[in-house]
Each structure stands twice: as structure tokens, then as C-alpha cells.
A = this chain, B = another copy of it.
Amino acid sequence: MTMNRVVRLKSRPVGMVKRDDFEIADEPLPEPGEGEFRVKVEYVSLDPAMRGWISPGKSYVPPVELGAVMRSFAAGIVDQSNHPDYKPGDAVAGMLGVQHYALSKGERCFKVDPSKAPLERWIGGLGMPGQTAYFGLLEIGTPQPGETVVVSAASGAVGSLVGQIARIKGARAVGIAGGPEKCRYVVEELGFDACVDYKGGNLAEELKAACPDGIDVYFENVGGEILDAVLARMNMFGRIPVCGLISAYNSTEPVPGPVNFRSILVNRLTVRGFIVFDFQDKMAEANEKLGTWHAEGKLKMREDVREGGVDAFPDVLNLLYTGGNLGKLVLKL
């Protein structure tokens, strides 16, 4: 008899997540009720925002409750269905949770086409991370031809697309990433104009050298010292979409704010936080554009696929906060 192996939140982590913050156990296979279908999950998405989902307190979505299945995007194949729009064999992606089998009524779930891209890519560059890059850059960053766009976590799922979309729009793309391997990947494989290694010890100077005309758009994924270095180089009327502040997600102490906050006033910057769901009404447009650019070979995407099943979830998640992944991090079940 097949069981469903499930990751449930046991306690709210302090600092980095630990194996012991989760209950990982076999449960009976769930049966789809009326209007439901069951998905055999094949890939679980690991996203920086997950750390916020399991923290207490106000955030942009309610926290995962203690005892609940760990929330996640995931992709898989429908294996049973009582839903009129989904049939066994359909490939789907959506909010399915960290588990081998998930029930869905179709909410926050969509069918994907594995002939156009492998299944794991639909929770990566062609899924939520791709949409996040698209909306944050184009709706808030609004890069103009010839402008300089800087993005932190440039080798990651979102950042890697931000720079490529910036170049499609005629802007100059400069990444910030950790270590020479990631920087090489960002420039040589993704085609960014430059990439600065924030671990190199000369962030301010290297950023200046990489952005001789200053910075018009900064797509913010990390916060902390990198944000300060960028604020010091922003041009007048620059835009800063704030997508994430990864550097602070595991902090157990209050994190200092940017010392160069004054740059917002002096340079008349616009700093705006967002999440992908704020642009729900334009999702079809984003998916169409991302799909077209991908098919034309203009968007390179790379998944960092980890093995180990759901039991590996806590350790693999932590790679996002230690810089241990290269490309969109996914867990293969």
C-alpha cells in the first residue's frame, strides 16, 4: 500500500531551520472528494519567501500553522480526479505543499505543457519566480533603453531572469552574486553585462566600476550591506522594486536598516515592495511573454535539482540562505 510522506511544521524556527522544526512522516494516501483531484508531486520548489511563511507575526500571507503541511509551490501529474477540468495524466503546477501526494480543487493551480519545457521549469523561470521577475522589473523598475539595472541574488531563480529581461528591454544588466563561479555563470551563460562578487571584499568599488553611469533600477532581493552599497550609487529618479530581503530572513536580532536611506530623498527614488500576487490581473500577459522569450531562446534558465525526497527539505531549504545553490532550487521527489 502506497503512503503519502508529508512535511508538517512542528515548531517555529529560530534562525536557520532545523530538521527538528518539522514532523516528517508517512500518512495514509488522501482520496480526492467531489470537485477535487490528486497530484503525484514530482518537484517541490524551494523559495526564499518560505522562511517568512513559517515565522510568527504579520507578513504578506498568513503564516503556516503549526501542524499544517509545509506550504510550497510544486509540480506533478494528476493521478486521480473528480474535477471536470483536470484528468489523470495532466501536468500541473501550484500550491501543493511539501508532500508526495496533494489534493487540490484547482485553486492557485494551473495546467502546464511539458512539451514546451521540463516539469521543474514550470515552478521556476516559467512559474512564480519568472512572473516575479517580470512584474517587479517591468511594472515597478520600468527600465528604459540605455539605463543600468542592477539585481542582487543574480544567479538565483528570480535574479537570473531580471537581468535577462532588462537586456531584452535594451537596458544594461549588472548582477551581484556570491563567488566567482556564480559571477561567471551570470555573465557568460546568462549574458549579463557584468557581475560583482559581493564576497570579494570590494563591493562598493567594484559596483562603481561595473556601473560607470550610476544605477537607474535596483531589483532588491537581499537587503543589508548590498542595499547600502547600491543606494550610494543610485541615479536621480531611480526605482527600487523590493522583492526580498534574504539577508535578514534567518536573523534572530533586529536587522539595522540602510544607513544610506537618505539617498531616497536626495535622489528622489521610488522604493516599492511587492509580491507576485499583486499583479494577478496581468498574469496571462506575463506567462505569454515569458513563454515566448523562452521559446525564442532569449531566456536561459537553470534548475538546481536536489535529490533526497521530502526528508531532505530542511537541509535543502537552508542552501538558499547560505548561497549554496546555483539556479532555481528544486527538490525532486
Contact = CB atoms under 8 A, between A and B. Distances in A.
A260 B248 CA distance: 11
B58 A261 contact: no
A269 B259 contact: no
A271 interface: yes
Contact of A267 (B228, B261, B266, B273): B273
Chain A contact residues (Cβ within 8 angstroms of B): what range? 20 to 34
Nearest to A271: B271
A180 interface: no
Interface string A237-251: 000001111001000
Contacts of A275: 268
B261 A272 contact: no
B264 A271 contact: yes
Contacts of A248: 262
A249 to B, nearest CB: 9
A258 B259 contact: no
Given A258-B261, A268-B275, 16 more contacts: A60-B265, A60-B266, A60-B268, A243-B265, A244-B265, A255-B262, A256-B257, A257-B261, A264-B271, A265-B273, A266-B273, A268-B272, A268-B274, A270-B270, A270-B271, A270-B272
Contact of A245 (B244, B245, B256, B265): B265
Contact of A278 (B223, B264, B268, B273): B268
A80 to B, nearest CB: 38
Contacts of A260: 257
A254 interface: yes
6 contacts: A244-B265, A256-B259, A257-B257, A265-B273, A269-B271, A270-B271
A59 interface: yes
Contacts of A244: 265
A58 B266 contact: yes
A272 to B, nearest CB: 5
A241 to B, nearest CB: 10
A333 B306 CA distance: 75
Contacts of A228: 257
Interface string A206-245: 0000000000000000010000100000000000001111
A261 B60 contact: no
Contacts of A223: 261-262
A195 to B, nearest CB: 24
A127 B212 CA distance: 38
A132 to B, nearest CB: 12
Nearest to A268: B273
A262 B245 contact: yes
A59 B267 CA distance: 7
A248 B59 CA distance: 29
Interface in A187-204: none
Nearest to A269: B273
A143 to B, nearest CB: 18
Contacts of A264: 242, 271-273
A240 B47 CA distance: 29
Contacts of A272: 264, 268-271
